Amino acid sequence: GSLKLGFGTSAFVLEGPTSANHIVGVNQVPGPIKEGDSQRCELAGLYAVAVLVDAIVSYYNITEGQILVACDNSSALRVFWDLFMPNPAYNNFDLFNAVWHLIRQSPLDWECTHIHGHQDKHVPYHALPRLSRLNVDMDTLAKAHWTSLVESSPAFPVPVHRPILYEGLQLWTGDTKIVHPSSSTLCNILATS
């Protein structure tokens, strides 16, 4: 994921046992995004992977298999833990809930692994393990997508607040989506209304 000035993008890749065949994509992170919230950017990439895998599984009637998800944000990877349950108190509850729903309905066994980010700053790219190289590639692609969106827009782009498939209950205050519907967040909204 790439986040600067309150605007985020993410990139993702889906590969088989080798890099011979792969699907690469980018997306714009839905708002709202707090500055410094790299977790939301990473979750947007994980959501894209889960949606893409769901489409492939449905199209090819896949009934079993395994998938390994690698990401450099360990807190975003919690969604793949066996005992994880989405909680409205979590930041980015909407994306957590959507990813959780997709992987729970999937016939695949989902596993995750944390990849340390920006390893290419300390180790030559060609000497990195495959998953680390993919992580570097996706970071580079997310930054390039961010730059292309900013440069092609007549004004600085802002994150679009939108419903997310499988997020469950949605709460909005005006045009602003509530992505962290904890009791304290809701009480603060009600107090200022």
The pLDDT of 51-78, averaged and rounded, is 97
Q: Assign 183 a pLDDT band (cuts: 50, 70, 90).
A: confident
Q: Which two tokens stand for residue 68?
A: 């390994």
Give the pLDDT score at 116. 94
Is residue 52 over pLDDT 80? yes
Give the pLDDT score at 191. 86
Give the pLDDT score at 131. 95
Spatial separation of the C-alpha atoms in residues 94 and 163, rounded to whole Å: 9
The residues, ordered by sequence, that sit 6+ positions from 87 with a Cβ below 8 Å of its Cβ are: 93
Angstrom CA distances, 12 to 28, 70, 139, stand at 12, 10, 9
Give the pLDDT score at 100. 98
The residues, ordered by sequence, that sit 6+ positions from 39 with a Cβ below 8 Å of its Cβ are: 73, 75, 76, 91, 92
Angstrom CA distances, 176 to 12, 129, 150, 187, stand at 27, 41, 22, 16
- CB neighbours (10 Å) of residue 31? 19
Cα–Cα nearest to 10, from 114, 143, 115: 143
CB 141, CB 26: distance < 8 Å: yes
Give the pLDDT score at 148. 97
Is residue 5 over pLDDT 80? yes
- Averaged pLDDT score across all residues of the chain: 94
Interval 6-45: pLDDT, tens? 999 999 999 988 888 899 999 999 999 988 899 999 999 9
Higher pLDDT, 176 or 44: 44
Give the pLDDT score at 185. 82
Cα–Cα nearest to 119, from 97, 134, 104, 102: 134
Beta pairing partners, 99: none
Q: Assign 182 a pLDDT band (cuts: 50, 70, 90).
A: confident
Interval 92-132: pLDDT, tens? 999 999 999 999 999 999 999 999 999 999 999 999 999 99
66-71/109-114 β-pairing? parallel
Give the pLDDT score at 18. 84
Q: Which two tokens stand for residue 90?
A: 């979590």
- How many whole angstroms from its chain centre is CA 47? 5
Give the pLDDT score at 184. 86
Give the pLDDT score at 169. 84
Give the pLDDT score at 45. 97
